Amino acid sequence: MEILQDHEQIISMPRIGDKAPDFKAITTQGNINFPSDYKGEWVILFSHPADFTPVCTSEFITFAHLEDKFDKANCKLVGLSIDGLYSHIAWLRTIKEKIEFNGMKNIEVKFPLIEDIAMKVAKKYGMIQPGESKTQAVRAVFFIDPKSMIRAIIYYPLSLGRNFDEIYRALIAMQTSDEFEVATPADWNPGDDVIISPAGSCGIAEERMTSTDELNCKDWFFCTKPLGKKEVLDKILKKPKLLVR
């Protein structure tokens, strides 16, 4: 989608269902070719306004603290900030050596942080919002699936730190929808009932309303069924590797 700003500037805005725009970049973990380097995995690509800013620092500590949790859900993290590589390295070193937040300290950021001084990647993903800032990326979150398709997008203003419980919940919910061919209702968490697709015919609708199986139909279009937390997590989360002796 393209939005015209002030009749001059065109901003690219990838949409849900689009293939993730590709790019090559220098990062704190070496060069990457995105998204092809991550095929077969989920990726969360997220942007920050700048290095050495307090809200960004709190978020990077939290993302790094949760990296293993996301990895178990077959999801890699990739960050972006409109600063240079050496600034990134200095900032991440400062985070590890000096910053404590919410009981988290000595946190080492191991996932890639993209250098994007020219704002090429940020502009490609619509992370620059001129009404908010012409030189800083807003707090964007892109959920990209194993086929390199954009599945969800969340945008936050510069002043608002992200809710990481919601980011993880959204990831697990989308994976659950894919694995079990269901939808997830408001505030869903693993273990809650899920929604099945509305009936496509009068016959199916009547059958659902009179069924005595596990379906709970409030009306022909609103039917839920139980889906256990263990069943969901056993299907989605990586199994621990067994030690071979």
Give me the active site residues, please: 56
Q: How many residues would you count in the chain?
A: 245
What is the Cα Rg of the chain in Å? 21
> 222-241: string of b/e by CB count within 10 Å (b at 16+)?
ebbeebeeeebeeebbeeee
CA distance 242 to 245: 10
8 Å CB contact between 67 and 102:
no
Q: Is 149 left (phi over 0), alpha (psi -120 to 50) or beta?
A: beta
Amino acid at 87: S
By CB atoms closer than 10 A (0-12, 13-18, 19+), residue 101 is: middle
CA distance 79 to 239: 26
Residue 139 annotated as part of some ligand binding site: yes
Q: Which residues are annotated as a binding site for substrate?
A: 139
Q: Which residues are annotated as a binding site?
A: 139
